[in-house]
Chains A and B, each alone.
Chain A
Amino acid sequence: MAYRGGGGHGQPPSAVRSRVSPGSLSTCRTRTHNICMVSDFFYPNMGGVESHIYQLSQCLIERGHKVIIVTHAYGNRKGIRYLTNGLKVYYLPLKVMYNQSTATTLFHSLPLLRCIFVRERVTIIHSHSSFSAMAHDALFHAKTMGLQTVFTDHSLFGFADVSSVLTNKLLTVSLCDTNHIICVSYTSKENTVLRAALNPEIVSVIPNAVDPTDFTPDPFRRHDSIITIVVVSRLVYRKGTDLLSGIIPELCQKYPDLNFIIGGEGPKRIILEEVRERYQLHDRVRLLGALEHKDVRNVLVQGHIFLNTSLTEAFCMAIVEAASCGLQVVSTRVGGIPEVLPENLIILCEPSVKSLCEGLEKAISQLKSGALPAPENIHNVVKTFYTWRNVAERTEKVYDRVAGEAVLPMDKRLDRLISHCGPVTGCIFALLAVFNFLFLLFLRWMTPDSLIDVAIDATGPKGAWTHQYPYSKKGGENNEMSKPR
């Protein structure tokens, strides 16, 4: 997006390199990596993980690495596609089980993933999101194949209920021999370290980022006679839609000049519709339905206050986007949210209807008294906080560190699994690891690595895709010919 500008202007790679954190690591950036991002979540699905993967890949490509993305097929979108800057995306034909996550058997994806890893000459596997079965599968296979692995956790989990206990066990197994883990906030790091029983040394914190050029304020778009509260989130339980349905009638009764704009779709939408009908708020509460990412900014700039009611959140990108558009943010104090924005830009409340209403009233009174800073000023402050280049630089350091580490050989890996994950689970997964290894040996016997084509590298500023090959001039002895058209 914004980074194409840089690449397009033909900046010499050295210039990019010299800008890399001038203090510490300016000289040791000598090697490039072949990175494979694996996650179940990618475009055309929409969300934080998806845009994270995309933006990070673009910045890494700009820095001279080769990046490919592996995800599962979305409807008709299957096979191999290219995005901007020759970013190659493999949409693998795997069955989707639940919530866009593939079914895992730990084995069935090995042939395809191995083929991709080999033909793209991947050195580092970077998996995203602990909800994604494919990411865990890829980690498992990569370790079997002896590749370096990095994992980014985008979400927080509880410890109490059954599903969290199971997921945490799985995460322990999956991460116990992963080389490095990245979390998006310190809260998330704590959470992950506790859940997966990790050594905190190998967990880094790299926050998410937003593209500030996409989220610019536009004060003329909002009506100053009325106050508009904007909510943009998926309408699901985790995002606190039930809280929202409590807030709306209370505030609407209190302030006659208050409007709500709600963007997003989900199973809880029906609650909001009922609230709207019961209190006859059709003209004051607008439900926009599913929004495309590019429309989010147009919705945000129509409002004065942004409301986030999440019940759990590792790093809330929505509030950064809203703040970047110059809105006053009111949010619940959960997860990593307090780390995200400084005190003066956000009003934090407890996740309850009462506390949120108080927070909103405070914001409204500030707005009415004119105590809020101008949108432009907020934008100028926020745009320096989180940039993707910064994220990419920091991620690159992780890659550099990981590339130097050794991958555990099979016997040590089994030891580690058994000692680290408890006797029963450890043994089961050690057995599975052995099976996986045998399966890999079988595959290697069926199609040796030497038979798999090497894919051409189309990515990056030096990639083949930018070269304009004049196709009548090359080659050329007796069989030279131009296209007959």
Chain B
Amino acid sequence: MEDERSFSDICGGRLALQRRYYSPSCREFCLSCPRLSLRSLTAVTCAVWLAAYGLFTLCENSMILSAAIFITLLGLLGYLHFVKIDQETLLIIDSLGIQMTSSYASGKESTTFIEMGKVKDVVINEAIYMQKVIYYLCILLEDPVEPHGISQVVPVFQVSTEQLSKVFSPKKICYLSPFSAFLLLLRFSRNVNSSCQDYLRTPDSYF
């Protein structure tokens, strides 16, 4: 079983969300961004080279041109290998765990598997990111030492953060059914303290 929907990311780019149901206990959510377009690649390369040529005419040093070539190549390699993520996959296997895979444009894949026993909760959180305020999905890991503590917060779909308001309406929330967004709200009601003087212990303190 497979179906596909498209969303937009926080910058307005298009994202495709694919869902695959292998079995009742195993589902996969796959979020893919558009690939690197030839147009933008050409534009950036031309810009760098033109700038280098401009400098070259000024200083008459051919080192600049070769340096520009190296910079473009290294930059492209670095971008493809460390920055540009083509696809992010979330595989949920019941009673086993959650596996997150991000595949970079260069083919590199980085995988993290989190056992179900370590997952404390999955919430949608709000954070200030650069000059924006965004929603993001994250997995809270249990602290092995302290039963109520949270040892780590693992963001899911980190680069291509979905525009969650589109998923947020109660009808569509079942897309990420195990990750019910309202857990977040439940959490508030559970932990909120009655008085403002206790603000230090309010639920917020995940971070």
What residues make up the interface of A, taking CB atoms closer than 8 Å to B? 1, 4, 43-44, 51, 54, 58, 78-86, 90, 92-93, 111-112, 115-116, 119, 292-294, 447-448, 451-456, 458, 464-469, 471, 474-481, 483-485
CB nearest to A482 among chain B residues: B178
Contact B131 A476 (CB under 8 A): no
Question: Which residue of the partner chain, among A80, A292, A480, contacts B126 with CB atoms under 8 Å?
Answer: A80
Contact A447 B12 (CB under 8 A): yes
**A-B pairs with beta carbons under 8 Å apart, 11 shown:** A43-B199, A81-B204, A83-B202, A454-B165, A465-B188, A465-B192, A469-B180, A471-B182, A475-B173, A476-B177, A479-B27
* Nearest CB in chain B to that of A465: its residue: B188
Report if B186 contacts A (CB, 8 A).
yes
Cross-chain contact B186 with A468 (CB below 8 angstroms): yes
Instruction: List 8 A-B pairs, minimum CB-CB distance, nearest first.
Output: A475-B174, A81-B204, A111-B131, A453-B165, A469-B182, A294-B197, A471-B180, A80-B126
Which chain B residues have a beta carbon within 8 Å of chain A's beta carbons?
1, 8, 10-12, 21, 27, 94-95, 116, 119, 126-128, 131-135, 163-165, 168, 170, 173-175, 177-178, 180, 182-183, 185-186, 188-189, 192-197, 199-200, 202-204, 207
A-B pair count, CB < 8 Å, reads 132
Residues of chain B lying within 8 A (CB to CB) of residue A475: 173-174, 177, 180
Collect the chain A residues with CB atoms within 8 Å of residue B132's CB: 111-112, 115, 447, 452
The reply to whether A480 and B174 form a contact with Cβ atoms under 8 Å apart is yes
Min CB distance B185 to A, Å, is: 5
Q: Closest CB of chain A to B194's CB: distance in Å?
A: 6
How far apart are the CA atoms of A454 and B168 in the complex, in Å?
Answer: 10
Closest-CB distance, B77 to chain A (whole angstroms): 28
CA distance A79 to B134 in the complex (A): 11
Point out the residue from B10, B27, B185, B194 that lies within 8 Å of A458, measured CB to CB. B185
Residue of A119, A452, A458 touching B188 (CB-CB under 8 A)? A458
Option from B95, B131, B134, B195 in Cβ contact (under 8 Å) with A453: B134
Smallest distance from the beta carbon of A137 to chain B beta carbons, Å?
A: 14
Contact A476 B189 (CB under 8 A): no
Are A484 and B95 touching (Cβ within 8 A)?
Answer: yes
* Nearest neighbor of A58 in chain B, beta-carbon distance: B196
Q: Are A464 and B182 in contact (CB under 8 A)?
A: yes
- Asked if A465 and B185 make an inter-chain contact with CB atoms under 8 angstroms apart, the answer reads yes
Across the interface, name the chain B residue whose C-beta is closest to A76. Answer: B207
**What are the residues of chain B within 8 A of A4 when measuring CB–CB?**
194
Which residues from B are CB-within-8-Å of A451?
8, 10-12, 163
| Chain A residues with CB under 8 A of B12 | 447-448, 451
